[in-house]
Structure 1
Amino acid sequence: WIHVEIDRETDRADLQQITADLLRVLSDVRETVEDWGKMRDAALRIADDLPGEPLDDLADEEVEEARELLRWLAADHFTFLGYREY
């Protein structure tokens, strides 16, 4: 649910701006809801792909901590809004 309250507004330009802003926000929310599973799966895939051995500049404990964090985030402790691969 999204509950929105808007004071009485009569200016046509303001009403058009409010409408455009609401439609943009609803579109963003819709995209996030539709893609959250893909983003969660990506976090889990990255966690699984982290090497089991230490990296050049990272200790084994740091790699494991990153793996655990990604899994914790993916266990409904975080709302994914997007991600980017490099």
Structure 2
Amino acid sequence: MKCWIATLLLVTLILGSAFLESTEATYPSFCDSKCGERCSKAGLKKRCIKYCGICCAACNCVPSGTYGNKSECPCYRDKLNSKGKSKCP
């Protein structure tokens, strides 16, 4: 009986981790494509993409266009850095 429970637990952990890996893989590709579009005209693209990615991961959205339109995503708009300025590009 103990062996059966241990096997069931092991199978559950394996399936659970496979599910988590597949869902985590979708968000980075979503954020990468949206932030790539958002930062396409930025002067400092690496920095723009870095902060956009942080904001996208936290908010699960990125405003359309390359500048402005932050009202489309209030979470993205309201994130502030330590100096009180907008964290998200």
TM-score band by shorter chain is 0.3 to 0.5
Give the TM-score, by structure 1 length.
Answer: 0.41
- From the CA coordinates, give the structure whose radius of gyration is larger: 1
User: What's the TM-score once normalised by structure 2's chain length?
Assistant: 0.40
